[in-house]
Amino acid sequence: MSDIRTAVRDAKRASLELAAAGTAEKDMALAAMAEALDAGREAILAANADDMAAAEAEGLEGPMLKRLSVTDEKIDGMIAGIRDVAALKDPVGQTMSAKELDEGLVLYQISCPIGMIGVIFESRPDVVPQIMSLCLKSGNGVVFKGGREAVRTNRALFGILRDAAMGHVPADAFVMAETRDDVDALLDLDDCIDLLIPRGSNAFVRHIKESTRIPVLGHAAGICHVYVDGHADPAKAERVVFDSKVQYPAVCNAMETLLVHRDAAGSFLPVIAARFAEAGVEMRCDPESMPLMPGSVPASEEDWDTEYGDLTVSVHVVGSVGEAAAFINEHGSHHTDAIVTEDRSAAASFVSSVDSADVFVNASTRFADGYRFGKGAEVGISTNKIHSRGPVGMEGLMIYKYVLIGEGNIVADYAGKGARRFTHRDLDRELDL
């Protein structure tokens, strides 16, 4: 549709003004947004009731309905989230480095917003206040496209937030797309949208990644491993392995495959098998581990590449930390993998060899999360190899520009006979204009 294209182009222009907005204006906009959500509860709950009724009529199921539902308590959470973002330090205009190139010629590397962010998400309407507040504070424009089933709720939330921001910042930088055709238009707008953030199922994220040339920040799978080394402390191994699998198996940072060193298999596997059996975990084993895990079934080749997302685990015995790392690099999703060991050199080898965003030593894979990492607010978890990796906070919405401040300096002075030489001296100085 040409409508959404025009709206995104206008938003792109407005986002350049938003990039130059001051901290005070942005914080006032965030405060107004929090207040407006509080004052607008009735309209939000009414819109959500309509969405819920339509969804139930269409036969939507339990967990999807639960994600779609907005309650007074959830609105409280949204308001608190916006106030948390307002309290974060303004990430725009920070001096990342300063270097004297020559007397009177100083180069600064200054943080700035990426520009225009596209957010395509499934039912959860709390994505709207969360990402909109993060984008506003970081000076980025954003175009949202939510799921069809939440269209009334998203529209109500977005309208309230945008209107509240309008008096303080160029809120034309925020757009809500609503139709299915709009998604195709967004995926095609690689000259306007600088970064796409898909939020939803693995299949959904994979589809987005395969359908656009815009850089995508996210992860399409979470096949995480715990490797119990030959020099593991048995009590730590039991705690970490059990927590990684059982504490919340539906999420991307839960363990799918357990690797065990041959030297530890005989003592460790029967113990963890009993814990797993008690918790109702299905164990799919390679031939070496199977006799050590009562109640297990044989694993197939497919199991090593499967994200179960439930109480199922695959188990494989290896002969060395190198073999474990190679197995993880081949079958994992470069998300989060852990080693349990008391041997520092095994830990060092695992850390340098495993090609994953999060590599943990003697800690549960479940710690891979923006909140637990202390990021305040999470944009998402990325398995990308450029820009941002692992749990991503507001820093993932930033890039930098190089600002060179001179006194009329020209390159001709640094060329040919008698050329001036660059000093290239690092400075401890902030850009102050």
Query: Which residues from 183-202 bind its own copies, rule CB under 8 A?
Result: 194-195
What's the length of the chain?
A: 433
Beta-strand pair 297-298/282-285:
parallel
Task: Pick from 26, 99, 152, 316 the residue near its own copies by CB under 8 A.
Answer: 99
Q: Using CA atoms, how far apart are residues 25 and 301, in angstroms rounded to an integer?
A: 57
Binding mask 328-347 for its own copies (x = CB under 8 A): -x----------x---xx-x
| 43, 47, 56, 60, 215 from 71: Cα distances, Å | 12, 12, 17, 18, 34
Note the Cα 49 to chain centre separation in Å.
30
Could you tell me the smallest distance in angstroms from the CB atom of residue 43 to its own copies? 34
Residues in region 337-396 near its own copies by CB under 8 A: 340, 344-345, 347-349, 351-353, 355-364, 366-368, 372-374, 385-387, 389-391
Question: Binding pattern to its own copies, positions 101-140, x when CB under 8 A?
Answer: x---x-x--x-x-xx-------------------------
Is there binding between residue 204 and its own copies (CB under 8 A)?
no
Q: Which stretch binds its own copies (CB under 8 A): 47-55, 63-71, 99-107, 221-229?
A: 99-107
Specify whether the CB–CB gap between 262 and 319 falls below 8 A: yes
* Alpha-helical regions (H) of 280-340: 321-331
Q: Quick one: which of 201, 223, 379 has its CA closest to 305?
A: 223
Residue of 49, 215, 231, 288 that binds its own copies (CB under 8 A): 215
What residues numbered 403-432 form the site for its own copies, per CB under 8 A?
Answer: 403-412, 414-415, 422, 424, 431
First to last CA, the chain: 43
Letters for 261-300 (x = contact with its own copies by CB under 8 A, - = none) are: ----------------------------------------
Judged by CB under 8 A, the chain residues 136 through 175 that form the site for its own copies are none
Q: Which is nearer to its own copies, 17 or 323 (CB)?
A: 17
**Tokens representing residue 419 in the block:** 């050329």
Number of residues that bind its own copies (CB under 8 A): 83
Q: Decide whether 145 or 366 has the Cβ nearer to its own copies.
A: 366
Residues in contact with its own copies, shown as a per-residue x/- string from 68 to 97 under the rule CB under 8 A? -------------------------x----
Tell how strand 255-261 and strand 312-318 pair up.
Answer: parallel
Measured between alpha carbons, how far is 320 from 230 in angstroms, rounded to an integer? Answer: 8
CA distance 357 to 362: 16
Q: Do the bridges between strand 425-427 and strand 174-177 make them parallel or antiparallel, or are there none, so unpaired?
A: unpaired
List CB contacts of 15: < 8 A, sequence separation 6 or more.
Answer: 113, 115, 116, 139, 140, 141, 170, 173
Q: Please pick, from the candidates 42, 58, 213, 280, the single residue that binds its own copies as defined by CB under 8 A.
A: 213
Q: Which is nearer to its own copies, 160 or 228 (CB)?
A: 228
